[in-house]
Amino acid sequence: MDSRQEKRIINALESIEKSLRVLAENAKASKELKDLIVENLEGLESSLQDLKDDPFGLKQTNLEGLLDDMLASFTGGTNADLRAHILDELKVKDYSDEEKSKIKRCVDEIIEKQEFAINPFGLKE
């Protein structure tokens, strides 16, 4: 073998080594990415289950009981009256801003669903 062939063989071996190193790095990165995706999917699955179990977030801060208390003192009227009653209750009682926001959002969603059930096409009476 002459020196030219030796250089070509050395270059080829170095190229193979570099390719194998890149392949190993890619395989490691691929495994890390796969693990991250699996972890994120598990978190998403957990979040979806939580949302399914408690769609309005009532159970997290016992807002269900708070809403029951507020609704127990409501004497009746329109949806606007109900919304006003809830807002008055929020002013009187000592709730955190987060609880107030969740209660308002819940009441609005409940009223919206009720209004949709009564008039699904939004027709004027």
Is residue 59 within 8 Å of 53, Cβ to Cβ?
A: yes
What's the pLDDT at 58?
Answer: 56
Say if pTM beats, i.e. exceeds, 0.75.
no
Instruction: List, for residues 71-122, the tens digit of each pLDDT value.
Output: 666 666 676 777 777 777 777 677 778 777 877 777 777 777 666 555 656 5
What's the pLDDT at 42?
Answer: 84
d(CA 34, CA 41): 10
56-80 residues labelled b (16+ CB within 10 A) or e (exposed): bebeeeebeebbeebeeeeeeeeee
Instruction: List, for residues 47-64, the tens digit of each pLDDT value.
Output: 777 777 766 655 555 555
